[in-house]
Chains A and B, each alone.
Chain A
Amino acid sequence: MDYQELVKSTVMELDAHSFDALSKAIIGEFLSFSVIQENEISKSALAEKVCDYFEKLELKTGKSFEKHIESYMSNIDAIVGRRIAKAPQPTKKDATPIEPPRGRKYYNKALSIKNTRSLSPRQLTDYSRFMFCLYAEIINNNYKEIDNLNYSITCLDPDAIIDSMKNEPETDFPVLNKIRKFEIKNLYCSDTCTFIIALIVLYKLLDDKIQGEYYHE
């Protein structure tokens, strides 16, 4: 997957409401326009801006977009994976394996997508859906270990997730937890790229929300 493919299937596919929300979240803090005013930003202008960013990122870091996607997935995994309860290990060899908690099953599903070669934008969105639903559950559980998740798209609040990611400590160890996990002062680095991809994917996920005629989550 190259960045044009990702941008075409996410930013360019958003409805007006989701695009507006993404534009507000991304312009100003991460990207900026020199001439165009915020209220004049069109979908194609934002898409072009995001593509320019990824192109510059590749040039400045010397890493391909694929590598940055890998960094994005590893970064999300680093803040989620350690807080998912594992299945209790069976005491005897060959003993019947104990079924893992529901949260772990979804996490394993996300990992199986992560280990896929040459991801499609849809697979990246699916990976992010599982991971962000788990992360939202972790936030609700005060960053303690979780064994279940709310799979509903309604549990995803991009502002809360991004704020929480900014404050993520490098480790959960109390003495060393003042060091932040992500360094986003430099625009052209893997950490900042993680935030930009996360925002794009989160608003795409909300944009894809299915609404039942009678059933409302």
Chain B
Amino acid sequence: MSDTLVVDNLEQFKQFLNNENIMEIIIRGKNKKFKAFQKVALSDLSQGKEKELVEKAIQALNKNSMLSKKSLSLVRNVAKLQQLDLVLNGLNLCTTCAGFAIMYAKLDSMSAEINQQINQLEGVVKKGNDVQAGYEFNKVLADYQDMLDCRRRQQPYSEEKMRVLVDREYNVLSLLISVFQKGISSDCKTLITSIFSLLSMLTISLRYFDELYYFNNHKVLGDKETWHSAHSKWMGVFDTLSSEWFVEKLQDYGTFESKLNTIGVDVYYISLLDQVMELRQEVEDNKKLILAIGDLEVLHAFREYSEREVKETIEAAFRDAFEGIDDPSAVEIHKTALQQIALL
């Protein structure tokens, strides 16, 4: 038996191949006896193909590697792009922030401008309200003056005309009170004066109307429905002008909008509320007088007499006060006062 052959590659087996390129290998059993022949064929072709395939595979891999490199560079580029995108996004964000900052700055300045404009508008609206209230007040004042003038000419208003006048005075007074309540007037001083002047006019008109209504209708209506059905509504204005909110508004006006000290404020609002009570009392007293006298002619005679008494008393008081005073301004005041008394 020859020595052991060390095989490095398949080429070394070629010497053992027969004519058919088959190599026969003896396989021994456990007892080292011959067990079987194993034919082995070496194929150069198949080996070449594999080699070729491997080479292709390597080439492909190389290509892939190239691709990978390209891909990597592409990925890098993409990464760079993404970074750029981030930068751009950041820039956008900065721009947006700057935009917002500018926008807010603008809004702030606009807000200040808007506030200023609102304040101006509020002022204009308040003045507008004053104009409207003034217009309504002057209209009703003209009607009231006309009513007084008609009475002076012995052509007094009819019951219906008086009712319309009272209702109009009531409505305008309610309007003025509403403007005062909502604080939508730029001239509270004039507004308060208008409210109390109109209240005084309403009181006089209501007194005249009550007379006419009673003497025209009491025979028909009897004792139960003595006064007009809107009478309590008209009288409601006295309740409004004595209410807590109205008192507070007067106190606030005196404290914050006038230069009065606390005693001045007390005198101011208490004298106005006193006036409200006094005028209400006048209407109530007049109603009692109408019911007590029961006749229009007697009532007028009684009123004329009492008015003459009042005039004479006031004139006498003025005469006493100005007696012996030669100062031209005092004489002028006395003259004006006498003219005003004559108008009573």
Contact = CB atoms under 8 A, between A and B. Distances in A.
A214 B111 contact: no
Given A212-B274, A214-B274, A214-B277, A109 B255 contact: yes
A129 B270 contact: no
A213 B278 contact: yes
Interface in B246-260: 248, 251-252, 255-256
A125 B261 CA distance: 10
Given A92-B111, A93-B108, A215-B277, A102 B261 contact: no
Nearest to B107: A92
A210 B255 contact: no
Contacts of A209: 266
Residues of A contacting B: mostly: loop
A122 B259 CA distance: 13
A99 B297 CA distance: 57
Nearest to A108: B256
A121 to B, nearest CB: 11
A96 interface: yes
A105 interface: yes
A213 B111 contact: no
A35 interface: no
Given A92-B111, A96-B118, A215 B248 contact: no
Given A94-B115, A105-B256, A151-B248, A212 B271 contact: yes
Nearest to A126: B262
A111 interface: no
Given A93-B108, A95-B115, A215-B277, 12 more contacts: A94-B115, A96-B118, A106-B255, A109-B255, A109-B256, A126-B262, A210-B266, A210-B270, A213-B278, A214-B277, A215-B270, A217-B270
Nearest to A96: B115
B277 A94 contact: no
A15 to B, nearest CB: 15
Nearest 7 interchain pairs by C-beta = A214-B277, A212-B274, A215-B273, A210-B266, A215-B274, A129-B262, A212-B270
